[in-house]
Amino acid sequence: MKRKEITTVTVIGAGDMGHGIAQAALLGGLIVHLYDTNNTSLQRGVDKINESLEILHRKGKIKAEEMQFCKTNLHPTLNFQEAIESSPFIFEAVPEIVELKRNLYSDMEKIASRNTIFASNTSNMKISEITKDLQYKDRVVGAHFFNPVVLMKLVEVIRGDETSDETMEITYDLCLKMNKTPVRVEKDSPSFIVNRINAPLRVFLGAIVDNEIAQPEEIDALMKFHGEPMGHFELADYVGLDVTYYSCQYRQQVLHQDYIPYKKLTEKVNSGELGKKAGKGFYDWS
């Protein structure tokens, strides 16, 4: 049987990840409906896409016609019903709070057509945990992109306990169409591959700072010396300390107590120093 070809997608959430996924989809030749709950967040996402397209064009990485295609085919919306009802493929990129995601998927299930695929950009949560309350679990999959989405090629395509082969393959093919390098994660498990590998290191690095053995800047300098593009703390600022915090907390709950968010990270989050987006985190970004 020939698989349906996806030409239109909806992205739920216009934040750092959502706007990046929308942009990657546009650059892959897709029509994109970008939804957020409020105009400020939605407009911020649209502005970031436009800024990034201008950079790519200025650097000769995309032609004027490609940039125009992307701008013409981006449809921002605040209308949830409209965003969901006619879409064949929905990327979800809302904050990493399990109840928030569960409620969203239940709402989407009420509106979406039976064949619509739901792909979660969660960076840690088991897909089966998100789909717990759903009637149709076969059409839900993980599609974990990396920040900044426009530059990072990797996508983890994660099979939930009940994800169908067709859902996996359509998602994998769509990621290829978006010029990404998808890898299949065949068993649903917290943190998948990349964050499973990186998580233990983060615990040790946090302990070095909490024990006042070295400052974040010094650890980052060492990591860059070893060839990393960013050190751990700069990267945490870049992706958002709230995102990093929720990820640690989730791993603590489902994997092991040792993944508890380190003290310095907790302090930063409690004081609203959430990294680049807040102008301050471990570094000053203002």
List interacting residues with ligand CAA (CB under 6 A): 52, 55-56, 59, 123, 146-148, 150-152, 195, 229-230, 235, 239, 243
Read off the tokens for 218: 């010094």
- Does the annotation mark 212 as catalytic? no
- List the catalytic residue out of 52, 123, 124, 247: 123
- Does the annotation mark 195 as catalytic? yes
Q: Of 50 and 86, which CB lies nearer to ligand CAA in the complex structure?
A: 50
Q: Decide if 99 contacts 123 (C-beta within 8 A).
A: no
Strand partners, 31: 8
Residue whose CB is nearest to ligand CAA in the complex, by number: 123
Q: Of 106 and 195, which CB lies nearer to ligand CAA in the complex structure?
A: 195
Read off the tokens for 114: 């039976």
What is the C-alpha to C-alpha distance for residues 100 and 220, in angstroms, rounded to an integer?
Answer: 33
Read off the tokens for 248: 């640690």
Q: Of 25 and 83, which CB lies nearer to ligand CAA in the complex structure?
A: 25
**What is the number of residues in the chain?**
286
Least spacing, CB of residue 234 vs ligand CAA, in Å: 8
CA distances from 54 to 189, 192, 280 (A): 38, 34, 26
Least spacing, CB of residue 86 vs ligand CAA, in Å: 30
Q: Of 15 and 76, which CB lies nearer to ligand CAA in the complex structure?
A: 15
Answer positive or negative: Cα dihedral of 134, 130, 80, 26: negative
Read off the tokens for 106: 């239940």
Least spacing, CB of residue 57 vs ligand CAA, in Å: 10
Residues 6+ away with beta carbon under 8 Å from 171: 117, 119, 141, 143, 157, 182
- Does the annotation mark 256 as catalytic? no
- List the catalytic residue out of 73, 147, 195, 273: 195
- List the catalytic residue out of 19, 33, 144, 232: 144
Residue 3, phi then psi, degrees to nearest 5? -75, 150
What is the C-alpha to C-alpha distance for residues 178 and 35, in angstroms, rounded to an integer?
Answer: 19
- Does the annotation mark 19 as catalytic? no
Least spacing, CB of residue 79 vs ligand CAA, in Å: 27
Q: Decide if 248 contacts 265 (C-beta within 8 A).
A: yes
Q: Of 52 and 131, which CB lies nearer to ligand CAA in the complex structure?
A: 52
Least spacing, CB of residue 147 vs ligand CAA, in Å: 3
Active site residues: 123, 144, 156, 195
